[in-house]
Amino acid sequence: MSTSTRVREATADDWSGIWRVLEPALRAGETYTYPRDITEDEARTAWMLPVPARVLVAVDDVTGEVLGIAKYLPNHPGAGAHVANASFVVGQEAAGRRVGRALAEAVLEGAKADGYRAMQFNAVVETNERAVRLWRSLGFEVLATVPEAFDHPARGLVGLHVMHRVL
């Protein structure tokens, strides 16, 4: 059964639900450059970032279960701080429910409202077709692909896309 999804600011109490979503993706090591043996504490530090970062969760409207997480923050400090960077993970059980799209739309809207001028993804694994397709459908383009920059556990050395969109 498909139910509706709500996107809201994450709180510290969301962490156990967030970790259930994050852990399989980080262990798989196919989409992010975190060490595959990252500890829960290290992951919490990396994702539950303080202001100026914003952390959002997508939750099931009925059960309140965390379905996905996103964060956005300045891609660089100081003179580069008007460009946002963002990261997303949706739980495997929620795949295909458009949770990723809902999170991305909320992040784009939030980042624009916060005054960012553009959004840049620094390291989109080129074999991550699902993500690349979603980002392209939301107006991002691949500016460049850094060759062999990602060591994929199954496919070996593959490229990392730098993707960008004006807000």
Ligand X SMILES: CC(C)(COP(=O)(O)OP(=O)(O)OC[C@H]1O[C@@H](n2cnc3c(N)ncnc32)[C@H](O)[C@@H]1OP(=O)(O)O)[C@@H](O)C(=O)NCCC(=O)NCCS
Q: Smallest gap, in angstroms, from Cβ of residue 124 to ligand X?
A: 4
Q: Smallest gap, in angstroms, from Cβ of residue 79 to ligand X?
A: 25
**Count of beta carbons in the 10 Å neighbourhood of residue 6:** 14
In 29-74, the DSSP E strands lie at 54-60, 66-74
By beta-carbon proximity to ligand X, the closer residue of 37 and 79 is: 37
Contact present, 123 and 142 (Cβ < 8 Å): no
By beta-carbon proximity to ligand X, the closer residue of 90 and 108 is: 90
Contact present, 58 and 45 (Cβ < 8 Å): no
> Is the peptide bond between 52 and the residue preceding it cis, with omega within 30 degrees of 0?
yes
Instruction: Quote the distance between the C-alpha of residue 107 and its chain's center.
Output: 9
Q: Smallest gap, in angstroms, from Cβ of residue 28 to ligand X?
A: 8
Contact present, 26 and 38 (Cβ < 8 Å): yes
List residues near ligand X by CB under 6 A: 25, 31, 88-90, 95-101, 121, 124, 128-131, 133-134, 137
Q: Smallest gap, in angstroms, from Cβ of residue 163 to ligand X?
A: 8
By beta-carbon proximity to ligand X, the closer residue of 20 and 133 is: 133
Closest residue to ligand X: CB criterion: 100
64 phi and psi angles, rounded to 5 deg: 80, 0
By beta-carbon proximity to ligand X, the closer residue of 95 and 144 is: 95
Q: Smallest gap, in angstroms, from Cβ of residue 90 to ligand X?
A: 4
By beta-carbon proximity to ligand X, the closer residue of 37 and 129 is: 129
